[in-house]
A and B are shown apart, each in its own frame.
Chain A
Amino acid sequence: MSDKTLIVEALQVAFAGVDVVRDLSFTLSPGRCVALVGESGSGKSVSARSLVGLAGSGAQVSARRLSFAGQDLLSLSERQWRAVRGKDIGFVLQDALVSLDPLRPVGKEILEVLQTHGYGDRHSRSARVHELLERVGVPDVALRARQRSGQLSGGLRQRALIASALALDPALVIADEPTTALDATVQAQILAVFREIKARGAALLIISHDLAVVAQLADEVVVLRHGEVVEQGPMQQVLRQPRHAYTQALLAAVPSAHPRGQRLSPERAVQPAIAAPRGPGEVLLAGRGLGKRYLGPDGLLRQVLEDVDFTLRAGQTLGIVGESGSGKTTVARIALGLLAPDQGEVLYRGQPWNGPGDAVSEARRRPLRGEISVIYQDPLGSFDPRWSVAQILDDALHVAGLDAAARPARIAVLLEQVRLPAALAQRRPLQLSGGQRQRVAIARAIASEPKLIICDEPVSALDVSVQAQVLDLLADLQEQLGLAYLFISHDLGVIRHVSDQVLVMRHGRVVEHAPVEQLFAHPAHEYTQRLLGAVPHLPGTGSELVVPPLDLEHEAFDLFDESRLWKIAI
């Protein structure tokens, strides 16, 4: 057990005879970090799980060599595997809200590892739990250990999850998307915890789709696509001089590296027919002094919005950026007229649109509803799963008041506008990919020929390259149709790429409001500076080039995150 090195040679994983990972090889020695990078479906997670013998039932794992600390992993029985898991190899999953048992206190979760492997007695185990939580930077450990993951903030529960993986000081730590779903400032803190783990001499295997995170930790990078290694080498070399086209595309798809108007994805199908004039048009939507309070579960009133102003002009994009709980979704719901503010008012083209209580009736709003559309993060939840794409669009056109006879032709035009093949019209939402679904959602949003679309985290659940295509599509549609966007995101890179004006929100207040270039070049408010500073950078791009965390809410947890958002919003 002297040399705790992980050796993977020609790893192959198949489900029902179909390979999902082919010929993956790398060596990981103590104190080093290897990163497996790829988009969803690239086989990176299943590779990581094979290393602890949990690739799933029905998985056929084979390799020329798969050994850790001189022990052949492939020949282990289930009982032997259990002795390795948690003791020699610690495993951290993404989003501790669902990766820790939500019904148990986090302290018990950490205790479980100690009990399973027979560590010490009652007292020493309890002391060890506190020591571990302190080590990963959890304050008030005695209290926190008795709280459930749902009662902790995102950063604290991710720390608790990491603490449970570190319980027995494993020589190898595998982290599968450990910072996904975290806000930028929290992400920076968690990355520091991992750097510390590495510095203590553990070997670290990071699974991520986020190149900026990888750049912070990895010594070696393995880029996977559809289960195959497309590029592999030292981190500096792979990220600075990517040789494979896919790695280059991944790097190029990062939105903030490109100013407004520049394309993120290579192909461009349609040239804009009419270029609508840009520049300041009439004021479409304006919020004045918006405030909103909610009664919390503890019986205390919480101010979720306070004195928020915004102005959105025709043909422009107003970006609203903030971390979770900053009130950005509440602004979206008030702007849509779905929720009445407690103070202030919203004007649409100078007319009252929303106000406290029943200041503006839904009957007054209804004739104008078609002019304001909405796109959500998770389109699947907003589609009837039994309807085909054609039915979904037909329904939207029906609501918009179009004759039944004219609808099929219009559906064809809409699909072309969002660049979906006409053959997809007969498919149902579940049969579409994430990117295709979001295109259908966009087609539905433009069906009523709106002047304004409210986009609530529209690309957060998408892979980098798909995200790039959707952002390009939105930019093209804005140019062709003269649309205005109220664009809500926690992702600074996306906000920078799409916005003309940016509103930075924190704890329900607007802390900064500025034109996009000014905001990113000279952030005035201390919080904006901190937000920009917390974003991990790619190597060699300088401080001016900000690469934000992408795809923060991973696709698998869409519905979950959505429900959390609503809880905050309602």
Chain B
Amino acid sequence: MKPTSLAVTDPRRERWAALGRRAAVRLGGGALVLWAVATLTFFAMRLMPGDPVLAILGGPSSNPTPEAIEAARIEYGLDKPVAVQYLLYLWRLLQGDLGVSYGQHLPVTRVLAEQGGATLQLTFAALLLAWLLVLLLTVVTAGRGRLVGGLASLAETFSASLPHFWLGVVLLAVFAFGLRWFPPAGSDGLASLVLPAFALAIPLAGFIAQVTRESLELTLEQPFVLTARTRGLSDLAVRFRHVLRHALLPGVSLSGWAIGALISGAVVCEVIFSRKGVGRQLYQAVQTQDMPLVIGISLVVAASYVLANILVDLLYQWIDPRQQEVTA
């Protein structure tokens, strides 16, 4: 009763085909999520108090003439029924037109192009750094007796509980103002990336390390680890070649979620370290009711979150091919 199809197809090609199918399905699902996000943001902004026309014409403090208000209302299509406005909005989105920022009077796509890179840089630097810390801390110390394990997991719990804003300020005080190793503010060059990346990475690393340590310790008890040792493999080779791959899975799942947490953390870090980035822009856009910019940023954040989760899902399948048999 074994599936006979296995006997005739090449396992490796089969794997890639399954991975491709999975990616297509997930991309379709991702498009749906983006549509839902666009719709929700659109209506949420409608519900906000205040007249968008006033925001366009310079905020609540300005005092435009009724004619100017009427002209702007027609220019931005705000005189049409909400349903028409919504469809128009979707149509423009499909064409890649996110509108013009009310506050900055620049196309939203241009603002995003200028600011998005910095945020992406920060997020991915933080994620990479977090994983580096996790691997350094856990692979070497897991299953090494109670004292080492206890100290390491204490360090993990401690760092997982540090808030970004506090850590950011402490890092600034010590390494920027005290030791003067890194610049306190700005967004040019690697040196300015180090402190904000650490501020984001340390709590995340503590979090991922906790689950990774637990699954490392479970995996080290598995019979196949003993088999690998009976082949004459060294302890480190056993840990990196066999154990790690099994133990990565829970941490990889967490990383998909972590992308979201990192972006919201980036908002805080960008303000503290006066960096460029969509986090800071979002913060300001919400305050000035700059609707096109809020929608644009929300969509980009949602899109990167969706994309990151698709990547994590595919990575997961690639690490553990057994998943394909269950889900494909």
Contacts and interface: CB of A to CB of B under 8 A. Distances in A.
Contacts of A101: 224, 227-228, 242
Interface string A100-135: 111111000000110011000000000000000000
Given A84-B232, A86-B232, A146-B11, A102 B1 contact: no
Given A98-B223, A99-B223, A140-B7, A85 B320 contact: no
A325 to B, nearest CB: 5
A54 B325 contact: no
A140 B226 CA distance: 28
B319 A103 contact: yes
A93 B11 contact: no
Nearest to B1: A325
Nearest to A507: B1
Interface string B87-124: 00000000000000000000000000000000000000
A104 B222 CA distance: 15
A54 B328 CA distance: 40
A254 B90 CA distance: 75
B220 to A, nearest CB: 10
Nearest to A79: B234
A103 B233 contact: no
Given A98-B224, A298-B3, A300-B3, A150 B322 contact: yes
A212 to B, nearest CB: 24
Contacts of B237: 116
B319 to A, nearest CB: 7
A83 interface: yes
B6 interface: yes
Contacts of A400: none
Interface string A51-65: 010100100000000
A143 B245 contact: no
A161 interface: yes
A407 to B, nearest CB: 39
A304 interface: yes
Nearest to B249: A103
A99 B224 contact: yes
Interface in B112-148: 145
A112 B227 CA distance: 11
A87 B232 contact: yes
A94 B224 CA distance: 10
B322 A112 contact: no
Given A103-B245, A297-B325, A85 B2 contact: no
Contacts of A94: 223
Interface in A136-175: 140, 143, 146-148, 150-151, 153, 161, 164-165
B321 interface: yes
B228 A112 contact: yes
B5 A82 contact: no
B223 A93 contact: yes
Instruction: Label chain B's interface by main secondary structure.
Output: helix
B229 A148 contact: no
B190 to A, nearest CB: 36
B62 interface: no
Interface in B213-260: 222-224, 226-234, 237, 241-242, 245-246
A95 interface: yes
Interface in B1-31: 1-3, 5-7, 10-12
A413 to B, nearest CB: 41
A279 interface: no
A98 B227 CA distance: 10
A310 interface: no
A507 B328 CA distance: 25
B204 to A, nearest CB: 25
B224, B234, B245 — most chain A CB neighbours (10 Å): B224
B68 interface: no
B74 interface: no
B179 interface: no
A102 B326 contact: no
B1 A54 contact: no
A302 B232 contact: no
B1 A304 contact: yes
A393 B60 CA distance: 72
Contact of B328 (A57, A85, A297): A297
A330 to B, nearest CB: 11
Contact of A116 (B222, B227, B231, B321): B231
Interface in B242-286: 242, 245-246
Contacts of A105: 11
Contact of B233 (A49, A112, A148): A112
A328 to B, nearest CB: 13
A117 B232 CA distance: 8
A508 interface: yes
Given A86-B232, A87-B232, A148 B12 contact: no
A68 interface: no
A72 to B, nearest CB: 18
A546 to B, nearest CB: 26
Contacts of A83: 232
Contact of A86 (B145, B223, B231, B320): B231
A91 interface: yes
Nearest to B225: A101
Interface string A69-85: 00000000000011111
A296 interface: yes
B175 to A, nearest CB: 39
A82 B227 contact: no
A91 B224 CA distance: 12
Contact of A296 (B3, B224, B320): B3
Contacts of A117: 232
Given A147-B11, A148-B322, A52 B230 contact: yes
B232 A153 contact: no
B89 to A, nearest CB: 41
Contact of B232 (A85, A148, A150): A85
Contacts of A102: 224, 322
A98 B6 contact: no
Nearest to B144: A57
Nearest to A326: B1
Nearest to A110: B231
B203 to A, nearest CB: 30
A148 B246 CA distance: 14
Interface string B287-328: 000000000000000000000000000000001111001101
B226 A93 contact: yes
Contacts of A147: 6, 11
A84 B233 CA distance: 11
> Which A-B residue pairs are the 6 nearest by beta carbons?
A91-B230, A86-B231, A86-B232, A85-B232, A82-B232, A99-B223
Given A98-B222, A102-B322, A164-B227, 9 more contacts: A85-B232, A93-B227, A101-B242, A103-B321, A140-B7, A147-B11, A148-B322, A151-B6, A325-B1
28 contacts: A57-B145, A83-B232, A84-B232, A86-B232, A95-B223, A98-B222, A98-B224, A99-B224, A100-B227, A101-B224, A101-B227, A104-B242, A112-B231, A116-B237, A143-B7, A143-B11, A146-B11, A147-B11, A150-B322, A150-B325, A165-B230, A296-B3, A297-B325, A298-B3, A298-B5, A300-B3, A507-B1, A508-B1
Interface of B: 1-3, 5-7, 10-12, 145, 222-224, 226-234, 237, 241-242, 245-246, 319-322, 325-326, 328
